[in-house]
Structure 1
Amino acid sequence: MRIITDSASDITIDEAVKLNIDIVPLTISFGDEVCPQNTVEDFDCFFEKLKVSTSLPVTSQPSPQLYLNIYNEAKLKGDDVLVITLAGGLSGTVNSANLAKDMIDYDRIRVIDSEQAIITQRLLVEHAVKLRDEGKELENIAGAIENLKRHTVVCGALDTLKFLKMGGRIPASMAFIGELLNIKPTIILKNSVLEELGKARGSKASLNLLYKEFEATEVDESFPVYFGHTSSEERCIQFMNETIKKYNLKNTAMFPISGVIGTHVGPGCLAIAFVRK
């Protein structure tokens, strides 16, 4: 079985090889300069550029042809294909995957809009890999992922309002006052759309809002709790360790977040992802 996801999952090329999956890239460009997002080093390089940029880079969804190339390979080998894409509310990536599906006469392809991104999209992909390696069939895996995606939660604490302002999501005046008052917004991904979870003064208070969301959820401990960061590894390690101690967590991991979503939240964002019962 071929499992395909996109680079919004932040799964690196090396990880994809180990998982035996395909990664279809979204393109990120500063003007004419394309920034690949294949390795952790690529992620770090991107955020160094973003910090000094006066405008946001442009992110482009994959072309249908990239999916079609993999579909054709799978058809030749008689392989089933499962595609798990970035949230349709954030990107047209799922449309490209479906357009490619319509371009080939092959009925063993299933395309799933994850309605997720970054570490929750990764969680869904890794669970699909686990089920594939256990010998489950395509329809069973697709059904399991469709169910699981409705129970996954990811929320994050931003370090700056700068990139929300640059992206036109908030007025410049609001960003100025927010920075002056040290306002740190928190966000949550719901129904394929990023929404505001709340605002807090200072980083500690913003993380407390993430804890509040975590505490309000009956967490399914059979799945891992994931932590993510945009070029803030040391702060994320501290956040993860404090959370592990606070809630006696047994199954955790931390991953860097690439520029695909990082473009909009900027460097210094910390995120937590979990599965609710």
Structure 2
Amino acid sequence: MDLRASSTTLDTVLFVLLVGVAVGTLAGVGDRRAPGGDRVAEETADLLATTTTEVTYTRSARVPSSALLDGDDTVTVTADRTAAGTRTELLAAAALADPSLGGASLTGMGGDLRAGARNATERVLYTREATVQVAVTWRPYPDATLRSSFAVGEAPPRDADVSVATVAAASGLPNVTRPAERAARANGFDGVAGVLADAVVADLFPPGQTRDALYSEGPDRALVAHRYRHASAALGVDTARFLTPGHVDQANKRLSSGLAKRLATDLRRRYDSPAAAAEAVRAHQVRVVVRTWSG
């Protein structure tokens, strides 16, 4: 059985929140100038950061029928979504929709938004003067095991003369570098990891909107419960008994605790001190790199 709806209670609010942060921050972040003054790379970066568009996509998951109906079977739940913003904002939203931890998806969703953002970007990339690729990367600190990355267009040939322009777009997460520095002094690597984990979980499962979804009847409730189950499995924690509107904070604490343990291990491996780890935190930025070359 397939159940489709156009309800947007959770995902639309999530995207609006993210874009609201991005619009206020983008103008003051990033370098859109290409080394050597390459005009196509620079103009393409400006185009992505300033032109708006709309993307229609879906959220879909196989869930137990008991989540919606009486029965022991499984059903496909699908909800239609619409997101609007600049192309850079759409790319940033797609990056944060489903980050991976050690190569494993955290939410099991986000592919349709990523495809929509890619398509919206591809429509403005091609010029007669150069070939263009856009690479999108989010990491809360360099080389983090928690990450998200994808590209629009093919990679340049190894022997190509490549020009580059970069935009640092807002990820939708708050700038937690200062809180991470304070946490490093108080609780070492565990403190830095905890600050990061709390911010990521709050972005993926914002308490107010998540409660609304769990109160609702139909696809929003089933989809957010599916996201919790997927994240719980990826992090090795149990949130099953907390998937009710009154226990969202407890569910998020479980996810945050599991993520913090993984991040603390990764930070200890990569940095000589908690202070160095905290200084490297850049969770609020998504790196969008435009590469152009002839041929």
What TM bracket, shorter-length normalisation?
Answer: 0.3 to 0.5
TM-score, with length taken from structure 2? 0.32
- The structure carrying a bigger helix percent of its residues is 2
Higher relative contact order (CA 8 A, sep 6+): 2
TM-score, with length taken from structure 1? 0.33
Rg larger for: 2
